[in-house]
Amino acid sequence: MAAEPSRPNIILIVADDLGWGDLGCYPKGEAWGEEAHISTPHMDALAATGVKCTQGYTTGMVCAPSRAGLISGQYEQRFGYYGFEDSLAPIPNDLKLLPEALREAGYRTGMIGKWHVSSAPGSWPLDRGFDRFFGFIGGQHDFYEANIGETMHGVGCSSDAPIYDQETPVAETKYLTEEFTDRAIEFMAQEEEKPFFLYIPYNTPHPPLQAPWEYLEKHASARPGGKFTNRDIARAMIENLDDNVGRLCAWLEEKGLRENTLIVLTSDNGGSDGGPGRMTQHNGGLKGRKGTYYEGGIRVPCIVNWPKRLPAGEIYTKPVSQLDFYPTFLAAAGAADLKTQPLDGVNLIPYLKGETKALPHPRMYWCLEHPGTWAVREGDWKLVREITDPNVLRDSEPRTVELQLYDLGSDAHEEHNLIESKPEVAQHLRQLFDDFRSGLKPALGTPEIVAEWKATLAERQRKPELMNVEFETGSPGHWRVRKEKRPAKPASE
pLDDT at 240 over 90: yes
In the beta sheet, which residues pair with residue 321? Answer: 57
pLDDT tens digit string along 378-405? 999 999 999 988 766 555 556 789 999 9
Helices (H), 199-301: 213-221, 230-254, 295-298
Mean pLDDT computed over 463-483: 79
Q: Is residue 316 within 8 Å of 51, Cβ to Cβ?
A: yes
Q: What residue spans in the chain does CATH classification 3.30.1120.10 cover? A: 364-438
pLDDT of res. 390:
74
Mean of the per-residue pLDDT values of the chain: 93
Q: Is residue 344 within 8 Å of 75, Cβ to Cβ?
A: yes
pLDDT of res. 313:
96
pLDDT of res. 437:
96
Q: Give the 3-state secondary structure of residue 42.
A: helix
| CATH code at 364-438 | 3.30.1120.10
Q: Give the 3-state secondary structure of residue 57.
A: strand
pTM, two decimals, is 0.95
pLDDT at 25 over 90: yes
Kind plus residue range of the DSSP H or E element containing 467: helix 464-467
Eight-state DSSP code of residue 351: H
Please, what CATH class does the domain formed by 9-361 belong to? Answer: alpha beta
Q: What residue spans in the chain does CATH classification 3.40.720.10 cover? A: 9-361
pLDDT tens digit string along 412-431? 999 999 999 999 999 999 99
Structure confidence at residue 3 as a pLDDT band (50, 70, 90):
very low
Q: Is residue 101 within 8 Å of 117, Cβ to Cβ?
A: no
